[in-house]
């Protein structure tokens, strides 16, 4: 039902956020990892497709006024379950439950993969409704289906109407504006709106990788290659899992003539998001530029 789906989405987002902050842990981005959400697929095949050693599976259902949550950590090399848990909590405070569950599951996962790592906090800084609108927009941004931009922008507007200083929503709205600017004569107006949104987001949260990524994309669209590279490098320092920032940085590096670095950055982006069609297309173009036609066709 809706409450269970909302909690499942929220827990998944929080786990990606928390685990993605761990320097020694590569966590596959949502575009690729969520591709298997509705599939009863063999975990070994998922491991090969994503290039991962572990898969975290979970489920949420409601039972009257209680939530029943299950999670298990599976070794993709053997298919064996290394750890599992079942939790029951009251349905009353969905957001508090989400935070408790994501924290507990992340802690268990990290203890089994690398006991020496300290558990990071989730970056979430908004109320339930604003956060849900942001997640909807981010889902649309990740999928990039036809006509996704108006729906994503509307969701972000609703989030910001509730919480005007929601830095992540400000940053993502700037990115949506910039991607819209590629398809409309109102390019300058959208650039100015994006610049204002980025500045506001960075004033609220100077360490927000998504805001630095938006700034980098703005510089990229204005052919300010060195400034774009600097901003996108900062984005990846603050949030190493931002595959979009890595992709945009590879474009900036190519424009600066730093082809080897660009290739390495794009390969890193594909490690984070191996099923992302945009990244695969860019890798095909990179192979084609270097005369590697067979690899280009493969991509």
- pLDDT class for 173, splitting at 50, 70, 90? very high
14, pLDDT greater than 80: no
What does the pLDDT read at residue 116? 72
* pLDDT tens profile 273-289: 898 888 899 899 988 98
Cβ within 8 Å of residue 129, ≥6 positions away: 159, 162
Question: Considering the entire predicted model, what is its pTM?
Answer: 0.81
Q: d(Cα 181, Cα 160) in Å, to the nearest integer?
A: 21
SS3 letters for 106-153? HHHHHHHHCCCCCCCCCCCCCCHHHHHHHHHHHHHHHHCCCCHHHHHH
* pLDDT tens profile 96-117: 777 777 778 788 777 777 777 7
- pLDDT class for 183, splitting at 50, 70, 90? confident
How many percent of the chain have pLDDT more than 70? Answer: 94
The strands making up 66-75's β-sheet, listed across from edge to edge, are 54-63, 66-75, 81-90
* pLDDT tens profile 117-137: 776 666 555 677 788 788 888
Average pLDDT across the chain, whole number: 86
* pLDDT tens profile 41-86: 788 999 998 999 988 888 888 888 888 888 888 999 999 998 888 8
- pLDDT class for 228, splitting at 50, 70, 90? very high
Helix, strand or coil, per DSSP, at residue 86:
strand
The CB-side HSE value for 119 (13 A sphere, CA atoms) comes to 15
């Amino acid at each position: 039902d809706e409450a269970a789906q909302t909690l499942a989405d929220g827990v998944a987002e929080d786990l990606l956020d928390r685990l993605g902050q761990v320097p020694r842990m590569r966590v596959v981005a949502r575009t690729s990892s969520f591709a298997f959400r509705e599939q009863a697929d063999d975990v070994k095949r998922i491991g090969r497709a994503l290039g991962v050693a572990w898969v975290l599976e979970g489920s949420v259902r409601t039972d009257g006024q209680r939530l029943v949550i299950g999670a298990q950590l599976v070794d993709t090399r053997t298919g064996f379950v290394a750890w599992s848990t079942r939790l029951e909590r009251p349905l009353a405070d969905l957001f508090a439950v989400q935070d408790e569950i994501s924290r507990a599951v992340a802690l268990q996962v990290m203890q089994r993969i690398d006991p020496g790592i300290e558990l990071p906090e989730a970056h979430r800084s908004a109320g339930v409704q604003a956060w849900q609108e942001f997640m909807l927009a981010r889902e649309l941004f990740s999928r990039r289906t036809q006509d996704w931009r108006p729906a994503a922008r509307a969701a972000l507007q609703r989030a910001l109407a509730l919480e005007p200083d929601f830095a992540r929503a400000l940053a993502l709205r700037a990115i949506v504006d910039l991607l819209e600017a590629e398809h409309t004569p109102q390019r300058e107006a959208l650039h100015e709106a994006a610049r204002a949104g980025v500045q506001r987001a960075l004033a609220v949260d100077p360490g927000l990788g998504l805001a630095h990524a938006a700034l980098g994309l703005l510089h990229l669209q204005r052919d300010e290659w060195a400034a774009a590279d600097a901003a996108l490098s900062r984005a990846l320092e603050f949030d190493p899992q931002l595959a979009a920032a890595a992709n945009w940085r590879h474009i900036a590096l190519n424009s600066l003539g730093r082809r080897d670095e660009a290739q390495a950055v794009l390969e890193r982006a594909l490690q984070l998001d191996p099923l992302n069609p945009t990244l695969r297309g860019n890798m095909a173009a990179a192979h084609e530029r270097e005369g590697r036609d067979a690899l280009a066709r493969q991509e």
